[in-house]
Amino acid sequence: MTTLTTPSANTATPTTSVRVGLLISALIGLGNIPFLFPWIDWGTEAPPFGMLLLNLAIGMVSVVCVVLAWNTGNRSAIRINAAALIVNALLVLPGLFIDASPFIKTVSAIIVAATVAAVVLTMRRDPATAPVTD
């Protein structure tokens, strides 16, 4: 019996679809930074400052994971990135349902949709990299 595997189970050169997902992830992560600035119209009630700091930290984790996974395809970094994106989307989700400005509702919808796209693209496995046993 012959077993063919990739050089490392945790790293492999990322495919184009994974890199597109990582690029979307980086844009979402970088997009979290401006929400600390005061000129954003939050509508009737601004979110708590602690929540904004948490959103910033999650965005920075996402950006760091994208940098780590871009060339190596490190699966651990991709998984941490996906978890950070999902938590970020859960923090943004109330913006769709509260009485907020149209800007906040639109940005919330875009972030949630982009998160779904990024997680699907980055977590998808290429069938050719699976171990082959004879």
How many distinct structural domains can be found in the chain? Answer: 1
Q: Phi first, then psi: give them for residue 101, nearest 5 degrees.
A: -70, 155
- C-alpha closest to that of 55 among 103, 27, 98, 88: 88
Residue 112 is assigned to a structural domain of this protein: yes
**Alpha-carbon Rg of the chain, whole angstroms?**
18
Residues of the chain scoring pLDDT < 50: 4-6
Residues spanned by the domain of 98? 14-36+47-124
| Amino acid in position 33 | I
- C-alpha closest to that of 19 among 59, 70, 68: 70
Q: For 84-99, what is each residue's pLDDT tens digit?
A: 999 999 988 888 888 8
Whether the Cβ atoms of residue 131 and residue 4 lie closer than 8 Å to each other: yes
Hunting for tokens 């970094």 — which residue is that? 77
Residue 2 is assigned to a structural domain of this protein: no
Specify the pTM. 0.77
